[in-house]
Amino acid sequence: MPPGKRQLVMGNMACMRGAIYAGMRFYAGYPITPSTEIAEGCARELPKLGGRFIQMEDEIASISAVIGAAVAGSKAMTATSGPGYSLMQENIGYAYMIEAPCVVVNVQRGGPSTGLPTKVSQSDTMQVRWGTHGDYTAIAVAPSTVEDTFTETIRAFNLAERFRTPVTILLDEVIGHMQEMVSFPEPGECEVVDRTRPTCVPSAYMAYGPTKNCVNPMPVYGQGYRWYATGLTHDGYGFPTDKPDEVVGKLDKLRNKIEHYESEICKVRAEYMDDAEIVLVSYGSVSRTALQVAKLARGAGVKVGFIQLQTVWPFPLKQLRELLGNAKHVIVAELNMGQIVGEVERIVQSGTRVHSLLRYDGDIFTPMQFLAKIEEVRK
Amino acid sequence: MSSTSLLEVQIPEDRFEIRLSGSGGQGLVLAAMLLAEAIGADPTKSVIQTKSYGPEARGGASKSDVVVSTGEIYYQKALKLDLLLAMTQESLNKYYPDLKQGGTLVIDDTLVSKVPTEDYYGLSFTRIAKDELKNVMVANVISLGAIAAITDVVPLDALLTAVLARAPRGTEEVNRIAVETGYQEGLALKQKKGQPATV
């Protein structure tokens, strides 16, 4: 599939293409519906580029291999769905702790457990934020179209490299399996970010030493720089510590390297917001229909606005506080039993009422469901 | 705020909605993909293909929607069908209510016996595939050929190009014959249907 040519592409394939564009050359995974096409695409394409595809024995091994590859200097990715994502949680926490840049794709299907393998859901939204134990700050992006999936996958890699952290791409069965006509950008058209490398002499290298922006340069293994990677809370060299100031320093760093750069990470699309009284907040495949509904409502003279969370985590606090300042009603639409709605409730002012539009039967919202909800709220 | 009820808002019908339905293993998701690719070759058309199937490898209900528009496509799936292909009785029963008034119904009359309307196109896709082309797997491709003849949603040459581009090596010829057979059958049926009933 050459760049520039208009072609029919599946969301999962756009994710694989975006990853390769961003420089991903290592993929380890275990197939699971509805994510399997990502693995299939990587198995086919990576060897041609001198990259590596490994089908592992399970998802625990998959994320382990990805972290190993990341530490060895590669841009690495794995893709899965709910059950596999649950299995990966312990090692995703390890990646947060050792600050290994990597990308994990979760093509969501209905849960809990094996749930609905072939049906759409957004019920892992909170698991992405709180899935592994301990205190940490997560980054997750949520594309809504096939084209978006390509560019947001590049962005996910850029964020992972920039902030040395795992980044989750939240897809869902509809986007993953949907095919649209798209043309991909030429090499060089989209920005690609690489992790910084140490420039000091190897003997002076501190893996987690003091930094200006909380992100340390990361050497390629085997080039003489020594560091110790452990899941235990560690000091500037990576060695285990329980000294209170070092413990607090490490945890603050994990938080601050993301929270202090919220404006760089958080991406929100806002349409029809100028005088909006009722605002639809959504993310992922739901946003397409939400945008159409806002347009239809405007056509009927009803002041409906549209907000799409392109970054779901960290939750775009500042942007949403500002955008929702004058809203009378906010309708948060999700394919789950109500997850991101809690984040919206935490930030709105007392004059704004927050409502949930929920669906969890394995299908997406129709425009009529949105219109009916807006009518209900207007009464 | 305006008093217009949003429940009365008309969803724009600036799109052509197709559903190919049947049983898992009949190749309907693949057929929808080929159809979407053929339609999308026209640069003025937006197209989205989605699918719905069960966890089974074979059997179980399977459908795939193709939405076509000259504008932007928002809602990704079909709402009111302009064209329904039903390859099994079960899928016809399930999706016939979604067919728009005046929409086109195409059935495989090898496998469908009870049709709730007089206004439909019945062709024996599975029988033709098995008996004439000696390959039951191309029933889906025959149905695409018939769709190209019965509707003007896709030009025959674009369909042939899309099918042949995806045909596994060694199956090009049977796939080409499948498209052309479906097209001829569809054309003949359309002409027959178009003739006024003789007394």
CATH at A358: 3.40.50.920
In a domain, A260, yes or no: no
Tell me the pLDDT tens digit for each residue of A302-316.
Answer: 999 999 999 999 999
Domain around A293:
267-378
- Does any CB of chain B come closer than 8 Å to the CB of residue A1? no
Nearest to A177 among B11, B51, B73 (CB): B51
Report residue A147 as tokens.
Answer: 């084209």
Dihedral of the alpha carbons of B146, B148, B151, B155, in degrees to the nearest 10: -170
Check residue A168 and give its pLDDT. Answer: 98
CA-based max dimension of chain B: 65
Chain B residues closer than 8 Å to A371 by CB: 6-7, 9
Nearest to B55 among A117, A179, A292 (CB): A117
SS3 sequence of A156-213: HHHHHHHHCCEEEEEEEHHHHHCEEEECCCCCCCCCCCCCCCCCCCHHHCCCCCCCCC
A143 and A272 belong to one structural domain: no
Contact B33 A8 (CB under 8 A): yes
> Where does the pLDDT of residue B53 fall: very low under 50, low under 70, confident under 90, or very high at 90 and above?
confident
Chain B residues closer than 8 Å to A303 by CB: 1
Q: How high is the ipTM of this complex?
A: 0.92
Q: What's the domain count of chain A?
A: 2
- Residue A234 is classified by DSSP as B
Tell me the pLDDT tens digit for each residue of A199-222.
Answer: 999 999 999 999 988 899 999 988
Q: Which among A182, A210, A232 is the end of a domain?
A: A182
Whether the per-residue pLDDT at A104 is higher than 90: the answer is yes
A153 and A25 belong to one structural domain: yes
A276 and A140 belong to one structural domain: no
In terms of residues, how long is chain A?
Answer: 379
Whether the per-residue pLDDT at B4 is higher than 90: the answer is no
CATH number at residue A162: 3.40.50.970
Check residue B3 and give its pLDDT. Answer: 63
Find, among A136, A112, A98, the residue nearest to A313 by Cα: A136
In a domain, A215, yes or no: no
- Does any CB of chain B come closer than 8 Å to the CB of residue A297? yes
Q: How many contacts (CB atoms, under 8 Å) link A and B?
A: 87
| B68 to chain A: closest CA residue | A180
A142 and A278 belong to one structural domain: no
In a domain, A129, yes or no: yes
CA A363 to chain centre: 22
Q: Which among A157, A182, A207 is the end of a domain?
A: A182
In a domain, A29, yes or no: yes
Question: Distance, in angstroms, between A178 CA and closest chain B CA?
Answer: 5
Q: Which among A137, A165, A182 is the end of a domain?
A: A182
Tell me the pLDDT tens digit for each residue of A142-174.
Answer: 999 999 999 999 999 999 999 999 999 999 999
In a domain, A136, yes or no: yes
- Does any CB of chain A come closer than 8 Å to the CB of residue B57? no
In a domain, A289, yes or no: yes
> Where does the pLDDT of residue B55 fall: very low under 50, low under 70, confident under 90, or very high at 90 and above?
confident
In a domain, A94, yes or no: yes
Check residue B59 and give its pLDDT. Answer: 76
- State the residue for tokens 């749930």: A115
A158 and A300 belong to one structural domain: no
Strand pairing class (B121-123; B99-108): parallel
| A375 to chain B: closest CA residue | B6
A178 and A283 belong to one structural domain: no
Find, among A192, A232, A198, the residue nearest to A215 by Cα: A198
- Does any CB of chain B come closer than 8 Å to the CB of residue A302? yes
In a domain, A224, yes or no: no
Domains of chain B, start order? 14-193 (3.40.920.10)
CA distance A24 to B50: 27
In DSSP terms, B121 is beta-bridged to B106
User: Residue A22: CB partners within 8 Å, gap ≥ 6?
Assistant: A75, A153, A154, A156, A157, A158, A192
A37 and A172 belong to one structural domain: yes
Helix or strand run (H / E) with residue A353: strand A353-358
- Does any CB of chain A come closer than 8 Å to the CB of residue B1? yes
A13 and A156 belong to one structural domain: yes
Contacts 24+ apart (CB under 8 A), B170-178: B174/B133, B174/B135, B174/B138, B175/B138, B175/B141, B177/B133, B178/B129, B178/B133, B178/B138, B178/B141, B178/B142, B178/B145
Contact B11 A368 (CB under 8 A): yes
